[in-house]
Structure 1
Amino acid sequence: MKHLILVSFLVLGSMISSTQAYSTVPEQVIGKKNLQLTSDKMTPEVLWSFGRLGDVQVSPDGKTLLYGVSYFSKEEDKGNRDLYTISMDGSSKKQLTKTPESEYGAIWQTDGKKILYLSSKSGKSQIWSSNPDGSEAKQISYEDGNITNISFSPKGDKLFFTMDVKVTKNVHDLYSDLPKANALLLDDLLYRHWDNWEDTYFSHIFVANYAEGIVSDSKDIMPNEPYDTPLMPFGGIEEITWSPSGNQIAYTCKKQFGKEYALSTNSDIYIYDLETGATRNLTKGMMGYDRSPLYSPDGKKLAWLSMERAGFEADKDRLFIYDFETKSMEDYSKEFDYSPSSMNWTPNGKEIIFVCGINATFQVYRLTLKNKKFEAITKGDHDYHSVALAGDYLVGTKVSMSKPAEIYKIDPKTGKETEISFENKEILSQLEMGKVEKRWITTTDNKKMLTWIIYPPHFDASKKYPTILYCEGGPQSPLSQFWSYRWNFQMMAANDYIIVAPNRRGVLTFGQDWTDAVSKDNGGQCMDDYLSAIDELKKEPYIDGDRLGAVGASFGGFSVYWLAGHHQHRFKAFIAHCGVFNSEMEYATTDEMFFDNWEKGGAFWDLDNKVAQKSFASSPHKFVQNWDTPILVIHGGKDFRIPYTQGMAAFNSAQLQGIPSRFLYFPEESHWVLHPQNGILWQRVFFGWLDKYLK
């Protein structure tokens, strides 16, 4: 399968930007503009003008940071990514590349004397090298395919990279006399995944020699295997790692094919020995996702993340450690009810630093191995996307609902955070952001639910405002302090709406019981949670209870369709993006079957399965006869998780009943909207619909 290359600045869930998708060389280099705004309120054009920063790499001496920033052009409908360095104190910022091709995946050479990165300047994505100041850039790999990830061995004499290789046969291999035939011949499931059709190619790890600035003698360590590493569709370099000795590579892979792959989350940690060429499965018998391996500094231990329950992609990520000397493994997070990510061993091997979601925020945490103590280093209303060690400090990228990603230096002893990058300072200084508030709402079953309230800029409590209920996707994803380039709460608020965003049953970061509560009950308590939040907030004198709307994407789109049949005249407008309308049809047409098997409890044709039958009975299409409110439906043609026919069915049903409705269809977009002009169009149609019925 073609490995999806994403330059991702998370909003777990769920919000992705890909500059590499736009490979046509623009007439001029797209970069930062000197933007002078005429209003202090956000517009779609301003939103697409922010620099999207990420992939921070610390130099070997801990003094310099290497990172990438993407900018987009509305006029050219493209994006471009360039590389930068900056000192740990925020000084000496330097742009290393300024080309139209996008540079990404940048790393430091082991001795810090060179920088390696990926570029498609030669027509294929290959490894390039430059001095740390960007000078003397040159191509140093000449592989047949497109290289995706790169990493140096500890000694610097080797590196690994990933690249798609052809493994299985297509119709042209089987019928060579029909070279112009355009067809897929399918005998198994998972013939398409997320936004790619099966193309007989799989992402493999290659090990190569590196000497005198040249990459040579590359070797596929997964020959003829019809499996991908990193995991499709969103895995990255964190799923592959060198041992400190450089003699082993640990990697994540789900070594299953077809229907077996579609029905399973059983990925494992494999260890490849460079000397013998042997590969062994370290986590055999652990049936959920196992991923993100990381060797301890002395190489005696390996940490990784492991989900316990097979088939459940939103289970708690347990932090396991394997001891190579005792050949034993242990769950270090039995008493910790949250999921780590972005793990780092401290140099002495006594602690692990990581990022973790807690109560709708993402903080930097420390695990002390000796006593299994988990301790928050940072606090506040923000989301850290990543963390890394840099000498006596930590560095990470952080966002909030009011600010896109920037680099921060963190004192691990005090938790003090200092911004370093200031990439978007000029735009932010010209904007007035709305107040973000959190409230704890009492639900129908007497639980406390954190709900974010986002107010318009220049909010006036003496006025009455139209208000939007935001329905989170997933259904298991974090409704945290994310910054999105589509579902941007400050963008919504800038259009003079109050936003109510409840952390309903199923969202992450509130413990596993809260997350589990949405499964097999998609039309149950979580829907009551939505209504509890909006019913409580509309009591406020500044919220106009006669001008309420509900919006959402993915499971949020399912939620909107479901609410449309049950809302009892609460709402005056709905917007559903890439949502499930008919759960039975979605079950039969989605890609990863394990997801619906877990969420619904089984197949809709299993009439003796009471759990599954209850789940499918709550499908929104079964209540479409109750629809009575204007609805905008949005869908992407390349969305293979929730096929676009779901949007067609919802729109057609509204039209046939005479309900005011529109269908915004993007043939080239998937579950996301990645192209600048499509993104701006999305915003204009979105707010045009809300304004028509709520203003």
Structure 2
Amino acid sequence: MTIKAQKFTPEALLSAPRRGDGIPNADGSKVLYSVSTYDFQDHSQSSEIRVLDVASKKSTLVTDNADASDPTWLENGDVLILAPGSNGTTDVLVGPHDSFSTRGNGISLCVTIGHVPEFRASRDGPFSTTVVKDRVTICPREKKSRPPFTDICNYTAGNIDGSVSGVKVASLANGSYAFTVTGNSNPDGSIYNSEKVTSSQTTGRLYGAIFVRHWDSYITQQRQTIFYGNLKKGGSHYKLSSVANLLKGTNLESPVPQFGSTDNFDVSSSGIAFVSKDPVLQPAVYTKINPYFVPLSDFTASTPPSPIQIQTSGFNGQATSPVFSPDGKQLAFLRRQNEQYESDKLQLFVLTNVAEPNSTVNALATADRKGAWDRSPSSVFWSHDGKKLYLTAEEHGRVALFTLAASSAFGNSTSLPKKVFYDGAISSAYPLSNGDVFISGSSLVDNSIYFYYDSASGNADVISSNSKNGAAFGLSRDQVSEIWYPGAAEQIHAWVVKPSNFSAGQKYPLAYLIHGGPQGAWEDSWSTRWNPAVFAEQGYVVIAPNPTGSTGYGQALTDAIQGEWGGLPYVDIVKGFEYIEANLDYVDTSNAVELGASYGGYMTNWIQGHELGRKFKALITHDGVFSMVSQLASEEVWFPFHDLEGPYWKNPSSWQKWDPSAHTGNWSTPHLIIHNELDYRLTIAEGLAAFNVLQERGVESEFLSFPNENHWVLKPENSLLWHTAVLDFINKHVGLPTYSEQSSYAKQLRGEAWQNRKGDLGRKI
């Protein structure tokens, strides 16, 4: 768990322990979390589930089974974990947090498990056992033996015939628990098990409607669904009933692919609420996602009641984050108005009585349906006593916590949510029984922070920092500042990240970062893909603006990018560069590079064709748009239809107006193009076309591609090569050492990736 980094490099970033969001027990005294670490020497990843004792700050191992997942507290303090069973199934394990065994690592290992009744020590077999009271210690007799994960513990509550995840539980009146998980189902409603699939004699795929593919995979007959059951304790052991498919025969799918997760459903003693794409509208063209409720009592019914659609008059866009009140009688959720726009403002709704699907109130409503609160919340949850609602929302490059009296959410209130926590970026939050809130988050210099927000005093205390507030990386908050400057129409905000050894008397090359989306923002948050501190520690001053189209600065700024892809945002970016030239004397703008991904990649290609492109020594485009008309090959075509003000055949002039390929006659700045083969949002033809143009024009350029990555680069070794190629390309153009010069392993990866044959044009290492 110890992080040690003399210098914050890509290898330090990618090999640092990645700690998941904390999951507190009811009173917040203990916190479950997962952590994974990648080892570049062994080329292996290890994963653990651990528990943090808040009072002592001591962290102890629950299990180091790399495949264990979804740790969940039960009300009595026991822990539920999912682990792979045999033949593609999933075991559901329940017991005290100190009772789970470990797999070990191939060396002599003893495991102690507690609270195992009537366990008899064995004198034979590969393991020796000793029993002291009810605690059992198992040791391998041979060095290479290792204790099994589930057999010793004997805490298997049930087995599910497929791969599932996304556990949620809720206490029922009879002492049992409502149990829900998500997984894929077959067309007949049965659970999908990949190891039971009969192979086909053809590799062909035949479609009669879109989607054909989505994000990084082709659409199949399987659907994501929610399975439910009843978890009951009898004596010292738990027993899970058989699970039923909540959505069987409905043509509904939840969680919503590709990124829907546990934020797409909730469970309570009254039933299950979920969201699903509208089953009538074309999912590639419309963003409409409806909220539903299924009443359930003991969660043992093999055939559930039909889902009831929750009504929201005048709002037909995406619904998300359904969450029951503590008593299960009310439901809060978020929904957008526009059914063809993913970045329309989310607004708060409350179903005041789950038994009446028409009892929905639009909190903070206005006559024009724009809502009185000019923020777009990303999540909502109730306080433990049900008297407050908490919301998380972006604000000025941060993700903050807001609170609103539950009574104010029932309509006719002038009260707006009150900001109560504003530090870094919140990734999740949980109400505690004493009225406080447990918060997980991060910042630009810290990859995982746990807080307690005291609702009485309004104070928030750090209870755990994974990197000691960045010190373990050699980073500090002193490196981070922010600026505001006049843009095309509004004041524009930007983050500034300096090197840790910054000296006010020196000048540093500029790394100008353009975010994706375009409806997104650079936040005070950690990233393992685009981390400003990595560039800063190479010797750059990093400036990351949030121009027109960015979120968290009011809905008007977000919406203003429609029909303006290369217009207002480009002006904001130019004005930002001019502001830096005029006001930041420690930045050497004559030695500047610019980088962007997705929409940021589009903007990089646009900049290359315009005047600003001549201000940079090098450009980086990752999975960006080259030709606007090529977006017709994207999987979610509602995206260009909205942002370019209509389909191509109805408004071709808007598509052509902002087409980077129309300005390739000006392309002359050295340029690295990165594009991945599993990116079905922006197909690889975009990257190849851009590279072909650069090469044919004689512009210094390189092309990097990963056949097994999507819109992002997620695999550690691939990510290290990505960082190496990027830093090598930009560093040499501003006079900094390349990363290949700093890391022998990075140089090795680059050498293995280089594909030009002897005699071909192109530079060698």
What CA distance in whole angstroms lies between the structure 2 residues aligned with 1:575 and 1:430?
26
Q: Are the structure 2 counterparts of residues 669 and 579 from structure 1 closer, same or farther at C-alpha, using a change threshold of 3 Å? A: same
Q: CA deviation at 1:233?
A: 1.1
* Aligned partner letter, 2:323: L
Query: Alignment partner for residue 159 of structure 2, among 130, 142, 157?
Result: 142
Instruction: Find the aligned partners of 2:392 and 2:341 in 1 and give their Cα distance.
Output: 21
Q: Which amino acid aligns with 1:163?
A: G
Task: Give the corresponding residue for 2:171.
Answer: 154
Give me the CA root mean square deviation: 2.3
Is 1:106 the counterpart of 2:67? The answer is: no
Asked if the contact 1:126/1:146 (under 8 Å) is kept, the reply is no
Per-residue deviation, 1:61: 4.1
| Aligned residue runs from structure 1 range 503-514, under 5 A | 503-514=546-557
Shift of 1:385: 1.2
Count of residue pairs the alignment pairs up? 643
Matched, 1:330 2:380: no
Aligned twin of 1:273: 295
Structure 1 residues 103-128: Cα deviation after superposition (integer angstroms, max 9, x where no partner): 2221112322x211222364544433
Instruction: State the match for 1:49 in structure 2.
Output: 15
In the TM superposition, what whole-angstrom CA distance separates every residue of 1:46-73 from its partner, at most 9, and x where no partner exists? 1012222223222134422212112222
Alignment partners' CA distance in 2, 1:200 and 1:78: 34
1:390 equivalent in structure 2: 432
* Cα contact 2:448–2:465 (8 A) shared by 1: no
The higher-RCO structure (CA 8 Å, 6+ apart) is 1
CA contact (8 A) 1:397 1:406 kept: yes
Secondary structure of the 2:694 match is helix
- Unmatched 5+ stretches in structure 1: 1-31, 170-175
Shift of 1:585: 0.8
- From 704, 708, 716, give the equivalent of 1:664: 704
2:258 match: 233
The answer as to whether partners of 2:3 and 2:16 remain within 8 angstroms in 1 is no
Structure 2 unmatched ranges of 5 or more:
101-152, 190-196, 298-303, 365-370, 409-414, 736-765
Partner secondary structure for residue 262 of structure 1: coil
2:551 is aligned with what amino acid? L
1:515 to 2:558 alignment: yes
Question: What whole-Å deviation, never above 9, does each CA across 1:665-686 have from its counterpart, x for those lacking one?
Answer: 0110111111111111111111
Contact 2:618 2:671 in 1 (8 A): yes
Relative to structure 1, the CA distance from residue 178 to residue 229 in structure 2 (aligned partners, 3 Å threshold; closer, same or farther) is closer
- 2:325 and 2:331 in contact (8 A); partners too: yes
Match of residue 689 from structure 2? 649
Secondary structure of the 2:282 match is helix
CA distance in structure 2 between the aligned counterparts of 1:444 and 1:342, rounded to whole angstroms: 31
Measure the CA separation in 2 of the matches of 1:165 and 1:537: 54
- How do residues 123-272 of structure 1 correspond to structure 2 at under 5 angstroms? 123-135=88-100, 136=153, 138-155=155-172, 156-167=176-187, 179-212=200-233, 213-243=238-268, 246-256=269-279, 260-272=282-294
Select which of 290, 310, 314 maps to 1:282: 310
SS of the residue 2:464 aligns to: coil
Change (3 A) 1:617 1:90: farther
Q: CA deviation at 1:398?
A: 1.7
Looking at structure 1, the residues matched to 579 and 154 of structure 2 have their Cα atoms a distance apart, in angstroms, of: 59
In structure 2, C-alpha distance between the alignment counterparts of 1:60 and 1:137, rounded to whole Å: 26
Q: CA contact under 8 A between 1:53 and 1:406: conserved in structure 2?
A: no
| Mapped partners of 2:4, 2:516: distance in 1 | 35
Alignment correspondent of 2:609: 565
Q: Does the aligned pair in 2 maintain the 1:51–1:424 contact within 8 Å?
A: no
Equivalent residue runs for 1:281-360 within 5 Å: 281-283=309-311, 286-324=315-353, 327-333=358-364, 334-360=371-397
What is the aligned partner in structure 1 of residue 460 from structure 2?
Answer: 417
Question: What is the deviation of 1:225?
Answer: 4.3
Q: Kindly state the Cα deviation for residue 226 of structure 1 after the two structures are TM-superposed.
A: 4.4
**Paired residues of 1:90 and 1:421 also in contact (CA < 8 A):** no
Distance 2:231 2:82 in 1: 16
Kept in 2, the 8 Å contact 1:384–1:399? The answer is: yes
The one-letter code sitting in structure 1 at the alignment partner of 2:709 is E
Is structure 2 residue 401 aligned with structure 1 residue 364? yes
Between 456-465 and 305-314, the greater mean CA deviation after superposition:
456-465
User: Following the alignment from structure 1 to structure 2, what is the Cα–Cα distance between the partners of residues 694 and 180?
Assistant: 55
Q: 1:17 maps to what in 2?
A: none
Q: 2:527 matched to which residue of 1?
A: 484
Deviation at 1:320, TM superposition (A): 0.7
> Which among 50, 63, 67 is matched to residue 84 of structure 1?
50
Range that drifts further, 617-626 or 84-93: 84-93
What is the deviation of 1:387?
1.2
Cα deviation, residue 77, structure 1? 4.3
Letter in 2 for 1:573: A
| C-alpha separation in 2, matches of 1:417 and 1:680 | 36
Q: Distance in 2 between matches of 1:148 and 1:262?
A: 26
Q: Is the 8 A contact 1:67 1:84 kept in 2?
A: yes
1:89 alignment partner AA:
A
Deviations 1:591-623 (A, max 9, x none): 1121111111122222xx3xx522432111111
**545, 550, 573: which is aligned to 2:594?**
550
Distance 1:429 1:507, change over 3 A: same
Kept after mapping to 2: 8 A contact 1:110/1:152: no
Equivalent AA in structure 2 for residue 127 of structure 1? V
- Supply the distance in 1 between the matched residues of 2:630 and 2:27 (Cα, whole angstroms): 55
Q: Considering only CA atoms, is the larger Rg found in Structure 1 or Structure 2?
A: 2
TM-score by length of structure 2 reads: 0.80
Aligned equivalent of 2:667 = 627
Q: CA deviation at 1:177?
A: 12
Contact persistence 1:77–1:675 (CA under 8 A): no
Matched, 1:585 2:651: no
**Equivalents in 1 of 2:318, 2:198: separation in Å?**
43
Please tell me the residue identity of whatever aligns with 1:115. V
Q: Deviation digits for residues 370-411 of structure 1, max 9, x if unmatched?
A: 34331111234x111111112332111121111111211121
Change (3 A) 1:296 1:211: closer
